[in-house]
Amino acid sequence: MEAPTAVEWLRRLADVSDPERALAVWTEAALATDCLGMQLEPEELQRVGQWLVEHCADQPMRMAARSCLVRLRVHGIFRSA
C-alpha cells in the first residue's frame, strides 16, 4: 500500500466538489495548520485533514477528508506491522 499524498487528498476533495473550490479549501487548511506544499509527511496530512473535518462548511468535503484520514490510519497500521 502506497503512502497517502497531498495530491491524492486534493483529488478526493475535487471529486466531491470542483477543482477550484477544492484548491481554495485545501489552501485555507494548509495555511491554518502551517502545512504548506505538496510533499507532506503523514503527521502534516493528519493536521490538514483534521482541520478540514473541524472547520470546512462543505459536508461532502468533510466526508472526503474523513475518508482520507481513515486511509492514513490504515496505512500507518500496515507500515508499522
Distance CA 66, CA 47 (A): 12
Cell of 56: 470546512
When comparing pLDDT for 81 and 66, which is higher?
A: 66
User: Where residue 17 falls among pLDDT bands split at 50, 70, 90?
Assistant: very high
Residue appearing with cell numbers 491524492? 8
Closest CA to 12 of 74, 72, 80, 76: 72
Q: What is the mean pLDDT of residues 11-23?
A: 97
Rounded to an integer, the average pLDDT of 38-60 is: 97
The yes-or-no verdict on residue 81 having pLDDT over 80 is no
Cβ-based neighbours of 11, under 8 Å, separated by 6 or more: none
Domain boundaries, the chain: 6-80
Question: Is the pLDDT confidence value at 1 over 80?
Answer: no
| pTM for this entry | 0.92
